[in-house]
Amino acid sequence: MGLLDRRIGLVMGVANERSIAWSITQALWQEGAELAFTHLPTPSSRRRIVRLVEPHQPPVVLPCDVQRDEDIAKVFAAVKETYGRLDLLVHSIAFAPPQELKKPYLEMSRQGWHLAMDISAYSLVAVCRAAAPLMPPGSAVVTISYLGGERVIPETNGVMVVSREDPSMTPAGMTFSTLAGMAGGGLQTPGIMGVGKFYLTSPRFISADGGFKRVVWMSSFLKQTMAEEFKAVCEREGDPDLMDKIADETVCTDVEGLLQFLEEKGHPALSMPPIF
């Protein structure tokens, strides 16, 4: 029996087999989740995702332009009609005009800025608003951010740093059973390929056996039991507020970032089970 048996999920952002969302999808399927998908509203995008998900024959694979509220509404109407609820939402969407990525930070256009923020950041708010009525207690939302918002990453452009870091700031203002941000660092994805010398962004890459297993944990019923046990340990250690201190934190997908995070908290023994 998998951690996510009978859990219904929607994955937004699978572009191809190198997408972060695709590795997350594989990890979720492995634990028994039943998933629906969205794709860009182009024939080529549909062909790519249909080819990837065909072995599982998901009943909901729909186009969605997150700049169009009517597209978002159609997706969640289909999810409601097909499943009746939604236990898990994965938001892995980002975009910036290619010409903006080649410019120095101070030369980005106002139009390019707004487009990047609308698709990369505001879309999380829009899809969560549409998903909320379908999500019962114990549901989860996971979004993908970028580690460049926390530290300097060589050869990265400011517009993507800001637009992708914003989603990691958003969860604090939302109310779900679980709403977590996962910051990508060292992931060889379609998005990072658009950044000059992407191989300089991290000393190594990680696979689906790395940070993506944390998504499974954050999406499962297990997190509720673990949270209760964690709170009890915090109280026993004499720091009952520790759980609040680390709540809504961004999970770093690079080992060094995760270890640094735990060291700063001073309670490495209280971390979630290691998955690296």
Please tell me the predicted confidence (pLDDT) of residue 41: 96
Q: Cβ neighbours of residue 117 under 8 Å, at least 6 residues apart?
A: 162, 163, 166
The Cα 56–Cα 36 span in angstroms is 10
- The continuous run of DSSP H or E covering 131 comes out as helix 123-131
pLDDT tens string 194-244: 444 444 444 444 444 444 455 555 555 444 444 555 555 556 555 555 555
Instruction: Name which residue leads in pLDDT, 118 or 176.
Output: 118
Q: Taking all residues of the chain, what is their mean pLDDT, rounded to a whole number?
A: 72
Q: Per residue in 53-102, pLDDT tens?
A: 999 999 999 999 999 999 999 999 999 999 999 999 999 998 888 888 77
What b/e string do you get for 165-186 counting C-beta neighbours within 10 Å, with b at 16 or more?
bbbbebbeeeebebbbbbbbbb
For domain 8-223+248-254, the CATH architecture is 3-Layer(aba) Sandwich (3.40)
Nearest Cα neighbor of 33 from 8, 16, 57 is 8
Contact in structure between 116 and 159 (CB atoms under 8 Å): yes
97 close to 43: Cβ distance less than 8 angstroms: no
Q: With contact defined as beta carbons under 8 Å apart, do 222 and 153 qualify?
A: no
Please state, in angstroms and rounded to a whole number, the distance separating the CA atoms of residues 237 and 266. Answer: 12
List pLDDT tens digits, range 247-257: 445 555 444 55
Cβ–Cβ < 8 Å for 147, 254: yes
